[in-house]
Chains A and B, each alone.
Chain A
Amino acid sequence: MVRTIGWMLLELPTGALFWLLEKAHLRTEPIDIYQTTGAMYPAMIAVMLPFAVLPILAAILGLDREQLNAATVFGAGPVLTFGAVVLPAIRQAMISAGVLVFVMSLGFYVTPLLLGGPSNMTVSGIINGQLNNANRADVGAAMSLLLVGGTVAIYLVADRLFKVSERWG
């Protein structure tokens, strides 16, 4: 919530981003990214970052140092070492992190509401509208169940394809 409001203050037409650009003499007109699709992505990445960083960092810290030393001894540069040694070792952690972030992103509510505006409503926003504005609690509940069912189905498919539960378990 705090991060999202921080991004909101940054992206307002005459917000912190505009202030910076104006001070750098790069822009004089207010910025019109607030309440657009593009405005949501940086905030979503900022909110979801810990869920990606922690599993990937754990995989990186578990790397065999001898393999990295061997790559260096045999003349591999940083790019080749990353592609041939590091990336294969952390690939499964990246996939697990991706599944976790994707499943959690399906339930995003506050960030799209504050930064995306009414034209970028996600499923959670529509459910809220049915429950609080349209006074159709039954339809809102049905939509919630469809969202839960879809999320579980996506997770099961991802687990079947990438064996993420083995990684977490």
Chain B
Amino acid sequence: MAVEEAVAGRRARTADGAGERRWLLWPPLAFFVLLLGVPVAALVRQALSGEGNAFAESIRMTVFVDAVGRTLLLAAVATAATVLVGTCYALAVAVGPAWVKALLMGAC
């Protein structure tokens, strides 16, 4: 029964072209593995190469904890301000005359 369902599912996927289009997944997957997976694996290897526990040491460092708080605050304030300014900017681009659109999009 399970085999029949699997075959039926495969036939359905082939019929709507999903099977043929699966190769389209390979370039982004390869990109993902090369540009994110490999560097992250190298970081894990590096982090575990020290004598002590680098993760515990990082979390115990006051300067790191302070920087995390500062980064989150900075990102939150910058995000709120950017979305506010960006909305006004986008409205101006949408309703402005052609030269204003060109100027604003060029400056953006």
Q: Which of the residues A101, A137, A138, A148 comes within 8 Å of B83, measured between beta carbons?
A: A101
B47 CB–A CB distance under 8 Å: yes
Bound Cα distance from A107 to B58, whole angstroms = 17
Q: Does A105 lie within 8 Å of B47, measured CB to CB?
A: no
B77 CB contacts on chain A under 8 angstroms: 41
Q: Does A122 lie within 8 Å of B82, measured CB to CB?
A: no
Bound Cα distance from A124 to B75, whole angstroms = 13
Q: A56-B86, A60-B90, A98-B83 are in contact. Are A125 and B67 (CB under 8 A)?
A: yes
B80: nearest chain-A partner, CB-CB: A98
Q: Does A98 lie within 8 Å of B89, measured CB to CB?
A: no
Which of B3-11, B12-20, B24-32, B48-56 lies on the face that meets chain A?
Answer: B48-56
Q: How many residues of B contact A (CB 8 A)?
A: 40
Interface residues of A in 124-161 (CB under 8 A from B): 124-126, 136-146, 148, 150
Q: A41-B78, A106-B71, A142-B58 are in contact. Are A52 and B43 (CB under 8 A)?
A: no
Q: Which of the residues B40, B72, B94 comes within 8 Å of A57, measured between beta carbons?
A: B94
| B85 smallest CB distance to A (angstroms) | 6
Q: A139-B50, A145-B40 are in contact. Are A106 and B57 (CB under 8 A)?
A: no
Residue ranges of A at the interface with B (Cβ–Cβ < 8 Å): 37, 40-41, 44-45, 48-53, 56-57, 60-61, 86, 90, 94, 97-98, 101-102, 105-106, 108, 112, 120-126, 136-146, 148, 150
Residue ranges of B at the interface with A (Cβ–Cβ < 8 Å): 40, 43-44, 46-50, 54-55, 57-59, 61, 63-64, 67-68, 70-72, 74-83, 85-87, 89-91, 93-94, 108
- Given contact pairs A124-B71, A138-B46, A142-B47, enumerate 6 new A-B contacts (beta carbons under 8 Å): A49-B86, A105-B74, A139-B57, A143-B64, A145-B43, A145-B44
